[in-house]
Structure 1
Amino acid sequence: MSNLQIGLAVLGGLVLAALVAHSTWTARKNAPRRAQPAPEQRDTAPEPQEPILDDTDLAAPDLPRPTTLRKTSLDPLIDVIATVALDPASPVVSGDAAIAASPATRRAGTKPYAIEGYNLSSQVWEPLAAGQRYGGFQAGVQLANRSGALNEIEYSEFVVKTQSFADALNATPEFPEMRDEVARARELDQFASAHDAQLGFTIRAKSASWSPGYVHQCAARLGFVPGAVPGRMVLPASVEGLAPVLVLAFDSQAALAEDPEQSAIRELGLHLDVAHVDRNEQPFVRMRDAAFALAREMDGVVTDDDGQALEARTMDLIGQELESLYNTMEQRDLAAGSVLARRLFS
């Protein structure tokens, strides 16, 4: 073999090696980012890293509230309420009998329906419970929710259900005027529709995509925990049992893939249901901080639904509008995060 042939062979080998190396580098660059193993799983200790946020940036604020939820009660502000008076000859009804006489469903059309009893021991209205003694009842149907205002057909179903319950107990119901209640429902629905804010930001990958494990690892550093639905994480409220402050969502198919670490996620949705979260939780501040922190950590950008990048100045304007919304809802006795607000905006 001549020197020329040898030289060409060597050159060809070098070119082939370069192509293989470039292909490998490109594949690694475009592969979804994966979660890093825990420190104890690594061969060597990791280098110290600066935290993404201060410890208090996304932490739940201290709230002057109890750690458990009180029972939901009918309220004339958002419910039609009918009284059910017992026969004087039988002034007491057991909880077991009342439960047996109750309708099989707890809805009238698309509106929640409920019956409460006046507990003779505690002297308060409460949801029916076995083993209790009741001296009277009240039935209610919600005036409005996100399905719309209570209409005449739903009101009629409410009357039928309540009358059947009363007949079973030999009691007498008294209903408010349907026309007045339907008009009240429409007014409440108009208010709710005008003040129903549900915010959403999108975090989009600038270059490399993300695996589900990588998303979970980054979000967990900010206090998010896995939700009940695949592809969803939540930032819990400071009071157990309340709706989460924020919801972080991504493609559920990626989370359910046979090999999730090979799934490529290119965007995350960060959501806040304003009416369901107490303003003392500082939900918007935490939402804004979480969005920018995730974008910074994951090499992404925060955008609106149309793909337009959101800047801090835009966020400030949104925050100001929310403060005005919170004030309006409180003036209507429907403070964000309250039992009534969560029922109305559901």
Structure 2
Amino acid sequence: MSNLQIGLAIAGGVVLAAVVAHGAWSSRRNTPRQAQPEPNRDAAADGPREPVMGDMVFDNQPMSVPSLARRSAMDSLIDVIATVALDGPTMVVSGEAAIAAMPATRRAGSKPYAIEGYNVHTQAWEAPMPGQRYSSFQAGVQLANRSGALNEIEYSEFVVKTQAFADAINATPEFPEMLEEVARARELDQFASAHDAQLGFTIRARNASWSPGYVQQNAAHLGFVAGGIPGRMVLPASAQGMAPVLVLGFDSQAALAEDPAQSAIRDIALHLDVAQVDRAEQPFERMREVAAGLAQTMDGVVTDDNGQLLTAQTMDQIGVELQTLYDTLEQRDLAAGSLLARRLFA
């Protein structure tokens, strides 16, 4: 073989090696970033899940009710309440009879509907339970929620359901005046609509995309746990049973892919439902910290829903406005994170 042939062979080998190297580099660049093995994290992987709230349901959102509460869960601030008096001062109704008489659904139109009995033994208002005895009852329907204000048709359904319950247990209901309650519902709905804040940040990848495992691993380092649906993680509140402080979401199809490691995620969303989270949790401050932390570790940027970069000045202004909102809600006895606020803003 001549020197020329040897030179051409070497040059060809160099070119081939360069092509192979470039292909490998391109492949690595386009492959979603993967989660890295971490020792002793098996327990964490099987650990806490999204909080499961109590068994009282409003607007299809489970709501926790403190197990030691001694007063009614209904409140005239956000509920229409009708008294249901038994026909006789010494009469009592068993829990089984009350349950059998209750309507099949716990809604009047789009509004939550509930019946409570006054337990003669515990002297507390509660949803009727087997084995208990009740000396009186009350029925309530919520004045407003995120679906709007209670209207005349929904009020009429509330009356029909309550009257049927009263007839079944030999009792007499007494209802507030409809037009007054509907007007009160509209006023409450106007207040709620003007003070309902839901904040969203988006973390977008600068260069390489992310795999679901990579997102989950980095979010877990900041305290997030798996949510109830694919592509959702939550930052739990400090008190068990409360709504999560923050919700992190990404493409559910990527999470459900046959090979999630090859699923490419280019953005994730952080969500804060202000009225649902106690002010003491400092949810917005934690939202900023989480967003900054994820952006730094995952090589991303923080934007709004329209893709505009969020500056520190913009976030500071949002924080100031939120403090005013918290004060307003508290002045109305609807403090963020309270049971009444969680029901109204649901």
TM-score, reference length from structure 1: 0.90
Secondary structure at the aligned position of 2:327 is classed as helix
Secondary structure at the aligned position of 2:103 is classed as coil
Q: CA deviation at 1:3?
A: 3.1
- Is the Cα contact below 8 Å between 1:73 and 1:127 reproduced in 2? no
Secondary structure at the aligned position of 2:117 is classed as strand
Where in structure 1 do 4 or more consecutive aligned residues deviate above 3 Å?
A: none
Match of 1:69 in 2: 66
Match of 1:61 in 2: none
CA offsets per residue over residues 88-147 of structure 1, 9 Å max, x none?
176111111001000010000000000000111122211111111111100000000000
Q: CA deviation at 1:302?
A: 0.5
Match of 1:203 in 2: 203
How far apart, CA to CA, are the structure 2 residues paired with 1:344 and 1:318?
23
Match of 2:315 in 1: 315
Match of 2:93 in 1: 93
Which letter maps to 1:325? L
Match of 1:234 in 2: 234
How far apart, CA to CA, are the structure 2 residues paired with 1:243 and 1:128?
26
Secondary structure at the aligned position of 1:229 is classed as coil
How far apart, CA to CA, are the structure 2 residues paired with 1:90 and 1:254?
63
Secondary structure at the aligned position of 2:129 is classed as coil
Match of 2:262 in 1: 262
Which letter maps to 1:32? P
Match of 1:52 in 2: none
Q: CA deviation at 1:10?
A: 2.4
**C-alpha distance 169-90 of structure 1, shift in aligned 2 (>3 A):** farther
CA offsets per residue over residues 139-178 of structure 1, 9 Å max, x none?
0000000000001110010000000000001110111111
Structure 1 residues 79-158: aligned runs within 5 Å: 79-88=79-88, 91-158=91-158
Structure 1 residues 34-73: aligned runs within 5 Å: 34-39=34-39, 69-70=66-67, 73=73
Secondary structure at the aligned position of 2:265 is classed as coil
Percent identity of paired positions between Structure 1 and Structure 2: 75
Structure 1 residues 173-184: aligned runs within 5 Å: 173-184=173-184
Match of 1:46 in 2: none
Which letter maps to 2:311? E
Which consecutive unaligned segments of at least 5 residues does structure 1 have? 42-66
Which consecutive unaligned segments of at least 5 residues does structure 2 have? 42-63
Q: CA deviation at 1:39?
A: 3.5
How far apart, CA to CA, are the structure 2 residues paired with 1:127 and 1:337?
23
Match of 2:166 in 1: 166
How far apart, CA to CA, are the structure 2 residues paired with 1:291 and 1:17?
41
CA offsets per residue over residues 202-224 of structure 1, 9 Å max, x none?
00000011111111111111110
How far apart, CA to CA, are the structure 2 residues paired with 1:26 and 1:248?
30
Which letter maps to 2:129? A
How far apart, CA to CA, are the structure 2 residues paired with 1:189 and 1:120?
36
How far apart, CA to CA, are the structure 2 residues paired with 1:218 and 1:330?
35
